[in-house]
Structure 1
Amino acid sequence: MRYLLFPLLTVAFLVAALTPVSRKLPKTVTLTKATLQDKIKGGWAGQVIGCTFGGPTEFRYNGTMINDYQPIEWYDGYIKQTMLNNPGLYDDVYMDLTFVDVFERKGLDAPVAEHANAYATAGYMLWHANQAGRYNILNGMKAPDSGHWLNNPHADDIDFQIEADFSGLMAPGMPNTAVQLGDPIGHIMNYGDGWYGGAFVGAMYALAFVSNDVNYIVSEALKTIPAQSTFYQCINDVIRWHQQYPTDWKRNWFEIQKKWSDDVGCPDGVFRAFNIDAKINAAYIVLGLLYGKGDFTKTMEISTRAGQDSDCNPASAGGILGTMLGYAKIPAYWKQGLSEAEDIDFKYTTVSLNEVYAMSLKHALQVIERNGGRVTGDAVTIATQTPKAVRLEQGFSGHFPVQLRSINKDIESEYSFDFEGIGFVLKGEAKPKNRSLWQYESEVVFRAELYIDGQKTETANLPVSFTKRRHELFWKYQLPNGKHTIRVKLLNSDADHVVRMTDLLVYSDRPVKAR
């Protein structure tokens, strides 16, 4: 018996060492205003640093990681140069700032319609759930319908996840309040896992103000997400694999790839290595945070080298870690040249980093006082919150992609096709016939009707304008299982523009079994 005792004790010790300790925050945490400002600055600065660092590799490594021997450049002046010469890279930042600006102009109680209209009418280009949500808003649909998966094929995409930083930076130590602030905004463009990505990120930011333990921040923030959701299950797996392989982030990456790399919703990612789904990219944020162990450089490297959306993921990880460390403790290497960029307005906005530092402090103090905290002179007392899970939402349930059929035809007047299943997405775009016209923002809008099994189900606008476009031509889910005939009828034509169909994505009520 004594010969078995040592191995059993060893196993017990390892299990205890690898199991997250359940801890509770004190009911109140008091910071100075200077410390609170430093953490807010760290959050925004970390986001900008991560976005800049990962920009050159964004979606160039899909379904693979960036090998260690490949350098990713960083140098003094890089941030300013990127902001001036490649401002579109910072879409996750200027989207964030859109909502911060609404809070600044309209107050904390600004209705969601103010946020929806501000982003829908902004001059920046958008993609995926953001663009689908924008189209819905511009065409009369309101949130939360604009982000619902039945109206938005990109509902599970990363969009709100990369824009939710504002919610956590406004709610120090209050993860539930962060989630509540983001809830109506996140549903402008997302639903289900797509919303959960933003809720999770916002909660991590909130907890980063009051904890210096990265493992605790990650595991506690996940408690805001329903355990039944696939988002929760994915991130919980990453935490579990980190316990199992605590020094090998690449082994964890492979486990994520094996189990969670199949996209279901995004028509651009299904059957392709490209994956902008919220949960797998959130997994890469968590990968960087857990294996980075509070080290800013390691966190940047891992969250970037995991691939896919490799600028947004280190931006989120860097922002969360920057909040935990505070601006002053972000290594000087990563802040080199940052001060030169802090007074530059982000493109499509009238807001600079220095301005958002100040606005976010103002908003955070207001939120703290509204939620049981107090501000007394230089002392800021936060009434901390125990994370609580939000309602369950799950998009695309019972829908399994089974076919991607190439079409590559222009619609002359009408086009018909058959498919067998319960749903479809017809990909394509309204565009100029001549490449020379692509640089101009056309006002041409096609009108088209959708018929399913002989019944007209929709009449849609198909703008040529890139900022107003419909991201997919038509889609429909939750059809009776069986054979369906689809007809698209074009109601108008234009000499210089066409409606081009590219691919047909088909869904069934059961997955295809590998032979």
Structure 2
Amino acid sequence: MTTVDTHVGTDVGTRLDDRILGGWLGRIAGNMLGKPVEQGDHWTRERIDGYLRRAAALPLDDYLPGPVSESDAFALRPEWRSCVRGRIHGSCRDDDVDYAILGLHLLETHGFGFTTEQVGELWLLRLPYLQTFTAERAAYRNLANGLKPPLTATYDNPYQEWIGALIRADIFGWVCPGAPRRAASLARRDAVLSHTGNGVYGAMWAAALVSAAFTAPGVRAAVDTALTVIPASSRLARTVRRVLSLYDSRLGWEDTLDAVHEETAGLHWIHTIPNAAVITAGLLYGGGDFTRTITLTVRGGLDTDSNGATAGSVAGVLCGAAAIPPQWKDPLENTVRSAVFGFDGARISELAARTRALAEHIA
């Protein structure tokens, strides 16, 4: 795939600015949309849609509505009070956004030649231990105990193929527009600090997906391209191809997710494989429409905020910031909360501009 020209022509540069900002806004908005129902063992697709029906919010075209009963309020994550429509004033803090910020800081500090060891050093310097989860917390503990990669990923870490590395990957796609293999290589170097196998492939796939969205003619082409950077025999690749085949057969979105749910039964709701299926279905059936993409993805359940964030990033790159409807952008007030030391209260537009400056230097 041809790399986006970041140097020649004002129009080209303006389009790239808009699409990188679209990726940041899409990631944050998708994350906020899914945050209140981020508990996949309770908030199934059926329960999410039941909640939306009780609130008269189907079809969903905005952030989740507030609860209509005490029982619904109790079932939502506590963050719902600042993540539902009418209550949002800037983004909530969340690891799905923290890692994009930390990845930006990594590249600004160490450049594109960063090492996995430097990723770990930056975690210890900039990221609070209690704001890490699953594989990242295991790796952080291993780092603090003096272990080095790849042992940080494998020692006493039962979460090696969960979704954590995938949610860290978008920044590598944003700084490598139209260069999916380079994006995947950067994401792999980051991912092996905490993950193995499909956990690493998930990060490579997501980075390539975001990168491909800059130059692909549509969603399907971006998904096809992203598959080329991971082993074809991996379970991740087979699952994504399965979603593609069901989509191509004109099966509906719900029936596609039902089929894949049966085939991935037994995997935890934070595992990479079933969540990649939900993301892929949201992108395909969303058809490039930003609102439809993130709402279908979140309604798909499992790790809703992470899936909404990744799908929102891809959709935001595809359409650009200017085309994201205002109900998703305006409540964010161009402000992001973050647990990464030194970045709380950062302006989203500034983060995007700093990302764009890195994209200027790709080979």
Q: Is this a same-fold pair by TM over 0.5?
A: yes
Closer/same/farther in 2, CA of residues 60 and 226 from structure 1, 3 Å limit: closer
Preserved CA contact (<8 Å) 2:3 2:177: no
CA distance in 2, matches of 1:287, 1:304: 11
Matched, 1:287 2:281: yes
Closer/same/farther in 2, CA of residues 60 and 225 from structure 1, 3 Å limit: closer
- State the 1:349 CA deviation: 3.4
Preserved CA contact (<8 Å) 1:129 1:190: yes
2:88 maps to: 78
CA distance in 1, matches of 2:119, 2:26: 24
Cα deviation per residue 1:454-501 (whole Å; 9 max; x = unaligned)? xxxxxxxxxxxxxxxxxxxxxxxxxxxxxxxxxxxxxxxxxxxxxxxx
The aligned runs of 1:184-195 (5 Å cut-off) are: 184-195=189-200
> What SS does the corresponding residue of 1:160 show, helix, strand or coil?
helix
Matched, 1:348 2:340: yes
**Letter matched to residue 33 of structure 1:** G
Matched, 1:57 2:37: yes
CA distance in 1, matches of 2:165, 2:263: 23
Preserved CA contact (<8 Å) 2:298 2:307: yes
- State the 1:60 CA deviation: 4.8
CA distance in 1, matches of 2:306, 2:100: 12
Closer/same/farther in 2, CA of residues 28 and 78 from structure 1, 3 Å limit: closer
1:132 maps to: 138
Question: How many residues of Structure 1 are paired with residues of Structure 2 in the alignment?
Answer: 323
**Letter matched to residue 196 of structure 1:** Y
CA distance in 1, matches of 2:41, 2:34: 11
**Letter matched to residue 356 of structure 1:** L
Preserved CA contact (<8 Å) 1:79 1:341: no
- State the 1:76 CA deviation: 5.3
CA distance in 2, matches of 1:206, 1:62: 33
**Letter matched to residue 54 of structure 1:** G
- State the 1:29 CA deviation: 4.5
Between Structure 1 and Structure 2, the one with more helix by share is 2
| Structure 2 gap ranges (5+) | 7-11, 58-63, 66-83
**Letter matched to residue 357 of structure 1:** A
Matched, 1:319 2:324: no
Cα deviation per residue 1:28-72 (whole Å; 9 max; x = unaligned)? 654621111111100011000001111100015558312262542
- State the 1:222 CA deviation: 1.1
Closer/same/farther in 2, CA of residues 79 and 201 from structure 1, 3 Å limit: farther
- State the 1:345 CA deviation: 5.0
The aligned runs of 1:79-228 (5 Å cut-off) are: 79-80=89-90, 82-83=91-92, 87=93, 90-121=94-125, 122-123=127-128, 124-148=130-154, 151-228=156-233
- State the 1:151 CA deviation: 4.6
**Letter matched to residue 154 of structure 1:** Y
- State the 1:225 CA deviation: 1.3
CA distance in 2, matches of 1:179, 1:30: 19
Preserved CA contact (<8 Å) 1:238 1:283: yes
CA distance in 1, matches of 2:293, 2:173: 19
2:28 maps to: 48
**Letter matched to residue 204 of structure 2:** A
Preserved CA contact (<8 Å) 1:58 1:308: yes
CA distance in 2, matches of 1:213, 1:54: 24
> What SS does the corresponding residue of 1:346 show, helix, strand or coil?
coil
Q: 1:235 aligns with which of 235, 240, 253?
A: 240
CA distance in 1, matches of 2:42, 2:264: 13
- State the 1:293 CA deviation: 0.5
Matched, 1:249 2:249: no
* Range that drifts further, 47-56 or 139-148: 139-148
> What SS does the corresponding residue of 2:196 show, helix, strand or coil?
coil
The TM-score, its normalising length taken from structure 1, stands at: 0.60
Preserved CA contact (<8 Å) 1:144 1:184: no
CA RMSD of aligned residues (A): 1.9
* Range that drifts further, 177-186 or 122-131: 122-131
